[in-house]
Structure 1
Amino acid sequence: MEDKEVILEADRPFLRVVRSQPATLECCYKGADDHVTWEKHVNAANRTVNVSFLNESHFVTIMHVQSSRSRCGTLTIKSVELNDTGLYRCWLNRTLVHTHGTYLQVFEPMKKTINLRENTKNKILIAEGILLFLCVLVPSATLLFKSKHQNELEKIKSKKEEENIYQGLNLDDCCTTYDQIECTPAQGHYQDVRNCNEEDIQLEKP
């Protein structure tokens, strides 16, 4: 009797599990009715691959499930550890065919360095909000103050420039000169009638 051709179904390529949590791996295939052996492949430091076979124990459960369409082998590790990280593949005992495999990564979750209460967290958030508000308000207020101060300096500068225009001028001399110009008798052939008495009116003929 000839063996049927083995058709491998797609394996889950990657599985990431938290330390101390259970992990279940599965490999499914068609065309063979024999059991499978689970292998674990781990990369060594000298660029070699160490292969180990897994047997059922108190921490490891191996099962075989038959359905109308395919046959699956399952491997369940009840509590994974960091050293359980590696590539897990199925080896069909009779056909000597290996499945593609699933890489299991076991990781340790990060622990909180500071254990804060919710009330403390809310206070920190409020303080951060106030600091953020001040970071926005203070530069704006500083800019506004500088603009106002600059306007005042411009006004003072403009006022000083106006005062400098009249600096050095003697107003008394200006008034005296103006009066002299105003009160000087008219030169030429005409006299100012308004500034003369009626008795002394002597008009020159043109």
Structure 2
Amino acid sequence: MGLFLFFVLCSLMGSVASDKGIVLEPDRPFLRVKLFDRAELECCYKNGPTQVIWVNRLPSGQIKPLQNQSEEVFQNYSNSNGKQCGFLTLKTVKLWDTGIYQCQLNNTSVYTHGTYLQVFKPIEKTINLSESTKNKILTAEGVLLLLCVVIPSASLLFKSKKQSKLEMKKMKQEEENIYQGLNLEDCCTTYDQIERSQTQSQYQDVCTAMEEREEILEKP
């Protein structure tokens, strides 16, 4: 929220500067640089003085002028076709270099809109692996995944076949138990007796039957 208000104030300052004849060009609003990398900032304007002073606006609101020249900070200036530009180069940025960088036009109270520089520290790898090692690990994971799918399927198929064989064997044993206590000779004798009794009852002599009835009646 504070950063937004700051840019609004800078825009108002730019409009005031334009009233004085100075036209501010839009600055790059945001720049994100990795720790210990190089950062290059730029501010441009028209109809202004030929010198600028780079300042760092701290979060507390204080303005810190940067050194004109050092081993880590380089400032440069160019003028072409009526467009003046100031350049600031940070050779190796540190975490404390994060902040808003503006150009103050020399001998004036005019500041450019500014650029917010963010310095970040990349996440370090816990285990530093080469690409070939990563590919081998991915291949091994694929093989393990395939085995996890194939082995349970093969096991279920084997169990189902074994279960079907056991059921067929059980049915066969039950059929054998049905005929286990039967004797073929006894079955034949019983069958012959049944056939004879049926034959005799169908063709029994009428006279013989009358004699048998008379014998039964003569008994006291």
- What's the CA shift string for 1:120-167, capped at 9, x where partnerless? 666545544443332233222222223223323433444455456x27
Q: Which residue of 2 aligns with 1:203?
A: none
Q: How far apart in 2 are the matches of 1:88 and 1:155?
A: 88
Q: Which residue of 2 aligns with 1:138?
A: 151
Q: How far apart in 1 are the matches of 2:102 and 2:36?
A: 22
Could you tell me whether the CA contact under 8 Å between 1:64 and 1:74 is conserved in 2? yes
Shift of residue 60, structure 1, vs aligned partner: 0.9
Which aligned pairs between 1:27-42 and structure 2 lie closer than 5 A? 27-42=43-58
Q: Which residue of 2 aligns with 1:85?
A: 98
Q: Which residue of 1 aligns with 2:217?
A: none
| Residue of structure 2 aligned with 1:99, choices 112, 128, 141 | 112
- What's the CA shift string for 1:8-53, capped at 9, x where partnerless? 333223222222222101122234344332222343xxxx444322
Q: How far apart in 2 are the matches of 1:174 and 1:13?
A: 110
Q: Which residue of 2 aligns with 1:13?
A: 29
Q: Which residue of 1 aligns with 2:202?
A: 188
Q: Which residue of 1 aligns with 2:21?
A: 4
SS of 2:201's equivalent?
A: coil
Q: How far apart in 2 are the matches of 1:69 and 1:161?
A: 110
Q: Tell me the TM-score normalised to structure 1 length.
A: 0.68
Which aligned pairs between 1:42-61 and structure 2 lie closer than 5 A? 42-43=58-59, 48-58=60-70, 59-61=72-74
Aligned in 2, Cα 1:117/1:34: closer, same or farther, shift over 3 Å?
closer
Compare the two structures and name the one with the higher helix fraction: 2
SS of 1:56's equivalent?
A: coil
Shift of residue 73, structure 1, vs aligned partner: 1.4
Please tell me the residue identity of whatever aligns with 1:18.
K
Percentage of pairs with the same residue: 52
Aligned in 2, Cα 1:57/1:163: closer, same or farther, shift over 3 Å?
farther
Gaps of 5+ in 2: 1-18, 206-220
Please tell me the residue identity of whatever aligns with 2:102.
R
- What's the CA shift string for 1:145-204, capped at 9, x where partnerless? 23223323433444455456x27864555444333233332533589xxxxxxxxxxxxx
Could you tell me whether the CA contact under 8 Å between 2:38 and 2:89 is conserved in 1? yes
Aligned in 2, Cα 1:150/1:92: closer, same or farther, shift over 3 Å?
farther
1:148 corresponds to 2:165: no
SS of 1:147's equivalent?
A: helix
| Count of residue correspondences | 184
Aligned in 2, Cα 1:100/1:5: closer, same or farther, shift over 3 Å?
closer
Q: Tell me the TM-score normalised to structure 2 length.
A: 0.64
SS of 1:99's equivalent?
A: coil
Could you tell me whether the CA contact under 8 Å between 2:35 and 2:93 is conserved in 1? yes
Gaps of 5+ in 1: 192-206
